[in-house]
Chain A
Amino acid sequence: MANVSLQQIGKSYGGAVAVEAFNLEIRDGEFLVLLGPSGCGKSTTLRMIAGLESITRGDLLIGDARMNNVDPKNRGVAMVFQNYALYPHKTVAENMGMALKLQKMPKAEIEERIAGVADMLGLTAYLDRKPGSLSGGQRQRVAIGRAIVRTPEVFLFDEPLSNLDAKLRVKMRMELQELHDRLGVTSVYVTHDQVEAMTLADRIVIMDGGVIAQVGTPREVYDKPATEFVAGFIGSPAMNLMTMQSAADGSWRSNESQLVLPRLPGFDTKGANTIRVGIRPEHMTILDASAVGDDPWILPGKVMLAELLGADALLTLSVCGETMTARVNGVDYPEQGQQLAVRLNPEQLHAFDHDSKKALQV
């Protein structure tokens, strides 16, 4: 096991920059998730750690040894690919044992290791089968087994669950979690699925356009998004974000609607004229229309659309002309067209600088 250190790592293709000055210390035994939309550089970063992509700038250290120019096989890393990348003409056992065979490990020891890992993953009955005759979940387990057999210092996962159906994905996610608890190997996991990120990660690195937007625990990135991008990316449905202008009396007004918010408590707006204010759909309280009155945080609204998800319902509201989404209990919720009042909980508001998109500190 080892820590991984990325120091000012960068990757460019010709003039195009894919990853920019990436700094990160991955702790020994940590489960770190790289999260972001397609093309944000997360896979490139993972592939640079793996050695499948050369590093343009900066230093990569695994267990304190510089790895920039070391072959993938000698980095002590093992990778699980999105499309499994199993050798289709080789059996499950041959797939799992390939790296060991190439290391010229004695046959008996290879078989022993494969047997152990196959037992752990429930693959013993399939060792003589070819990948083509296995289900998607079994193939992914073989791919994971192939990584485990090598007893690497670091596991690298490149969107390993994205080819599985929803139900299987949940099951494999739990298996991965169990496996990590059991083996305690440093893991770097790339995904665009925030649920995977939130559930698996010790820390999440959210990337946008080749740079790190935020590093933090799942709770930190959800509660205290460092940028507007993170705020919009984490959480489903996405955070409601409004552009507000400051008024002479200290209140904030929207240009596009009649929305007026009182002085924002606890935010250092640094005298800005325009800011972005955000509130998550689950942080809005739905009240009776008659509740509008003295409390400036209670605003009149109307239900434009009500969608039942099961346990929850999503309401698309027009609040003072501003479209917002609220998440409410699915048992008893207002119907389409109904007039109501909405309370935005001020302690759960977010505010961001309009230009830099950075969070205005509370």
Chain B
Amino acid sequence: MNAFNTLERRTQFVGIGFVTPTFLVIALILVYPVVQSIVLSVGQSSVDGFEPYRFVGLEHYAALMDDERFWRSLSVTLIFTAISIPLELVLGVGLALLMNESFHGKGLARLAVLFPWALPTALNALIWRWMYNADYGLFNAVGLESGIIGEPVNWLGDETLAMASMVIVSVWKTSSFMALIILAGLQSIPRDLYEAGRMDGMSRWQEFREITLPLLKGSIMVALIIRSMDALRTFELPFSLTDGGPDSATETLSLYAYKVIFEFVEFNAGSAIVVVQFAVIFLLSLLYIFTLRHKD
């Protein structure tokens, strides 16, 4: 019998047929850009093709090591991630717990919580930029009117305040995303566990500690992975809110890479930054995946 005619072979062909389009799309939009960035980062060329591609090895990476602005953007990115994500997590869990209670107008409340997440980041940033505005902004107006602050605060003009302001916008927007994922996790916890807890004599806090939190671990991990990858790539928020200022205080890796590539038109040096960023995120993902697998 012809080997290509067995049922098993045909099933395999069908399987390959289904997988191929996805594989091609991933190769095109994912693998190709990554490879292209790596190739660019170890060479020297010009956009107009005037200067042909020439392999330079790790020259651009070596230059990065001495680039203070690069180190600063890396630390800005890490600090931003390290501060905003724990805040988002705590708020997200809180919001999810609230949304999981039954009360009148629950549907409306859920919608309201999701609203910030639904808005495009760039639009969000513009709204907040106006509210932060030192001369016409909402915060200074309310602060001055109520006497909480004596004089206008330059929210986006001070290095520490600018970072804090950026964190606040990020938390405002993405806590709802955390809440959504954690709410899904909450709803998968059987109600009778809480009844068993009540019979056992648990207080509300003990219920949270002994039942809710342990059973939310999986959802929390997933939310953390998605959000920290997101935060390490943050671009739109500083781009629209502060343009990285003042004095690079809010310039993330993505924003710096963007500037090197499109403002300084240094494709090769910019690619080196992108590759470093890729490596950081990749390592973090491996760490998460390893921890998750270890848990099971």
A interface residues with partner B (beta carbon < 8 Å): 50-52, 71-74, 77-79, 81-83, 85-89, 98-99, 102-103, 146
Contact = CB atoms under 8 A, between A and B. Distances in A.
Nearest to A53: B195
A204 B190 CA distance: 30
- Closest 6 pairs between A and B when the two form their complex, measured CB to CB: A73-B201, A85-B196, A85-B192, A99-B200, A89-B214, A102-B201
B193 A71 contact: no
A78 B214 contact: no
A71 B197 CA distance: 12
B199 A99 contact: yes
Given A88-B215, A89-B214, A83 B199 contact: no
B215 A89 contact: yes
Contacts of A146: 196
A73 B193 contact: no
B210 interface: yes
Contact of A102 (B190, B193, B200, B211): B200
A339 B150 CA distance: 105
A72 B196 contact: no
B199 A73 contact: yes
21 contacts: A71-B201, A73-B199, A73-B200, A74-B201, A77-B199, A78-B199, A79-B199, A81-B195, A82-B192, A83-B192, A85-B192, A85-B193, A85-B196, A86-B196, A87-B196, A87-B210, A88-B215, A89-B214, A98-B200, A99-B199, A102-B202
Nearest to A77: B199
B106 interface: no
Contacts of B193: 85, 87
Contacts of A85: 190, 192-193, 195-196
Contact of B195 (A52, A78, A98): A52
A50 B195 CA distance: 10
Interface string B180-214: 00000000001011011011111000100011001
A99 B201 contact: yes
B273 to A, nearest CB: 43
Contacts of B210: 87, 98
B195 to A, nearest CB: 5
A77 B201 CA distance: 11
A52 B199 CA distance: 8
A332 B190 CA distance: 51
Interface residues of B, number: 15
Contacts of B199: 50, 52, 72-73, 77-79, 99
Contacts of B195: 52, 79, 81, 85
Nearest to A51: B198
A82 to B, nearest CB: 8
Contacts of A99: 199-201
A324 B195 CA distance: 46
Contacts of A81: 192, 195-196
A88 B73 CA distance: 44
Contacts of A82: 192
Interface string B69-109: 00000000000000000000000000000000000000000
Contacts of B190: 83, 85
A102 B211 CA distance: 14
A82 B210 CA distance: 21
Interface in B204-230: 206, 210-211, 214-215
A99 B199 CA distance: 8
A74 B199 CA distance: 9
B187 to A, nearest CB: 16
B201 A103 contact: yes
Nearest to A50: B199
Nearest to A103: B201
Given A52-B195, A85-B190, A102 B206 contact: yes
A83 B194 CA distance: 13
Contacts of A83: 190, 192
